[in-house]
Amino acid sequence: MAPCKGKEKKEEQAISLGPQVAEGENVFGVCHIFASFNDTFVHVTDLSGKETICRVTGGMKVKADRDESSPYAAMLAAQDVAQRCKELGITALHIKLWATGGNWTKTPGPGAQSALRALARSGMKIGQIEDVTPIPSDSTCRKGGRRGRRP
């Protein structure tokens, strides 16, 4: 069948997502790792922190509720995030590590170390690593009363 007059085939242009940079240049994003004792969030934003690029949690990767904060779930979440970042052209990450903080625990949960390690092993370059857990300068009274929680 002959092609119609006036209609020409248009060549599809490849759509490139992410920033336009020269070859070999690092494109940085910010990876916020929030590791509590109930779940682990791996959240990548641009440098301003306003635009979300990718966010995966440990609970999205495992079925059992008790495994959401496990190192294995955090590793799977970090691998997914790293793969998505590479698709969008982000090659390096600054890390901001969060724990619950405030009146609660100031130590990160079990998934923090394995998420960071999985990001590094998946080929992402790591810039700064910073602990940004909220620390109160003068906090309100913690729940449990004066004598604390008793069994």
* Cα radius of gyration rounded to whole Å, the chain: 21
- Rounded distance between C-alpha atoms, residue 55 and residue 61, angstroms: 12
The more confidently predicted of residues 119 and 140 is 119
Mean pLDDT, rounded, for 49-56: 94
Containing 80, the helix (H) or strand (E) segment is: helix 71-87
What is the rounded average pLDDT for all residues in the chain? Answer: 89
> Which phi-psi region, left, alpha or beta, contains residue 144 (left: φ > 0; alpha: ψ -120 to 50)?
left
The number of beta carbons lying within 10 Å of the beta carbon of residue 108 is 23
pLDDT digits (tens, 9 = 90+) for 113-126: 999 999 999 999 99
Q: Work out the angle at residue 20's Cα, subtended by the Cα atoms of residues 17 and 23, and round it to the nearest 5 degrees.
A: 115
Task: Give the pLDDT band (50/70/90) at residue 139.
Answer: confident
Which region among 12-26, 49-63, 136-150 has the lowest average model confidence (pLDDT)?
12-26
Q: Are strands 28-35 and 125-131 parallel, antiparallel or unpaired?
A: unpaired
pLDDT digits (tens, 9 = 90+) for 95-108: 999 999 999 999 99
Annotation: CATH topology of 33-131: Nucleotidyltransferase; domain 5 (3.30.420)
pTM score, whole prediction = 0.82
- Per domain, the residue ranges of the chain are 33-131
Mean pLDDT, rounded, for 23-46: 93
Percent with pLDDT over 70 in the chain: 87
Mean pLDDT, rounded, for 5-30: 72
Q: Is the pLDDT of residue 21 over 80?
A: no
Residue in the structure block whose two tokens are 């998420």: 115
Residue 131 β-bridge partners: 97
